[in-house]
Amino acid sequence: MAVWALGINHHTAPLDLRGRFAFALDQIAPTLHGLRDSLSSASGRHPGVETAIISTCNRTEIYCAAEAPALDHTLDWLAHSGGVSPALLRSHSYSLENSLVARHAFRVASGLDSMVLGEAQILGQMKDAVRAAEGAGALGTTLNQLFQRSFAVAKEVRTSTDIGAHSISMAAAAVRLAGQLFEDLTKIRVLFVGAGEMIELCTTHFAAKTPQQITIANRTLERGEKLATRFGGEVMRLADLPDHLHEFDAVISCTASTLPIIGLGAVERALKKRRRRPIFMVDLAVPRDIEPEVKQLEDVYLYTVDDLASVVQTAQAHRQAAVAQAEAIIDAGVQSFVHWMELRSPAAQNGGVVPLIQQLNSQADEWRALEIARAKKRLAKGEDIETVLEALSRGLTQKMLHGTMAELRAGDAEARAQTAQAVSRLFLRSHSKNGL
């Protein structure tokens, strides 16, 4: 199987271009069906192609596995879905194959490729994307292995290094910027637009500063009320936002809308009612929730996800040692994945490695079944359980070592020496955490 990935992120593409390729979670399944159909029809490709899409504020990435790579076709399909030319997308994208795909996925899952170095939110977003791919029937053995190993590597990075110890989240950065504009955050009124995970995180950070008022505006009142209740806030229908925008000093927005929900005209009217008192606005949505022209208004301080980049990187120097540790963990994970891929290759199959592994597993299962059957008979006769367990373990050990012992006793001195080396390597080596 060949594995390839194509993507754009905050390193390679501007915000508005990323917005063209943002897929809401409920769009992933139908999008994957379209992608698989397109890849399957290209050059008579086998219909069993595996696909997954990760789409966040900072990236959209397509992961695929099939008998042969199809990077150009994947790029053409993505360009068409975003309504841009393949040439434009190519100039802002990156493409990877095989081990480089694994390395990239492991770094993304571990937070090493995020705007906020070491942030943990991307791991949850990747897991959501994998669940969506599984639900769409688009995930096969190869990509499943890739992502499960990504999650395992990310967990080890998180627990074994201080990669996230000094990170500044987008939410914390928004509070920091608001504090630079307003002398006292306890006197401001804050409006949160949306009720998703990012807004919940932002509300938590702002609530810690005890602002004068917290209001949640959302399309559905039920979800908005649930979040507002947690923070002693109020709730508002999204449709009522233009009439009440002037009441708020700070507006934080992050919805899944494909079009801006706060326009230039609405903000101009709000500023007029506020008698030119400034409004602090943060647009964390991709595509944008707030029209970009709003930034040109004299009394508006509008920040996007890209504008926050310099703020969230202030602790970068403190994390370099942790990054080096994380990269070493990722290197080991990549080597393990490549080895797994090699074992599944036609060469390995023809060379007898996989059949031999299958025979070993079959033989071990046979021995285990025999000893368990004997143990059950002895237990049925009323024998002491500790005695039965001791006999079971001894029986298994003798079966597993019988052939080895026979080889060590047989043959000439040279053959016995070679066997002894092999036995030492197989049975007497120390077992590390990543021994398999």
Four-residue CA torsion sign, 381, 385, 387, 393: positive
**Contact, 149 vs 336, CB < 8 A?**
yes
Q: How far apart are CA 378 and CA 393, in angstroms?
A: 14
**Element containing residue 69 per DSSP (H, E):** none
Q: What SS3 class is residue 231?
A: coil
pLDDT for 436 = 40
SS3 content of the chain, % helix, strand, coil (to 5): 60, 15, 30
Q: Is 64 a catalytic residue?
A: no
Q: Which residues of 53-72 are buried (b: 16+ CB within 10 A; e: fewer)?
A: bbbbbbbbbbbbbbeebbbe
Q: How far apart are CA 63 and CA 90, in angstroms?
A: 16
What is the pLDDT of the chain when averaged over all its residues?
Answer: 88
Alpha carbon distances (Å) from 38 to 51, 74, 125, 133: 11, 9, 25, 16
The answer to whether residue 279 scores a pLDDT higher than 80 is: yes
Residue type at 315? A
pLDDT over 70 percentage in the chain: 92
Q: What is the pLDDT of residues 162-215, one digit of tens each?
A: 887 766 778 888 998 999 999 899 999 999 999 988 999 899 999 999 999 999
Q: What is the pLDDT of residues 297-318, one digit of tens each?
A: 999 999 998 888 777 766 565 6
Active-site position among 57, 64, 202, 254: 57
Higher pLDDT, 423 or 221: 221
Q: Is-above-0.75 flag for pTM?
A: no
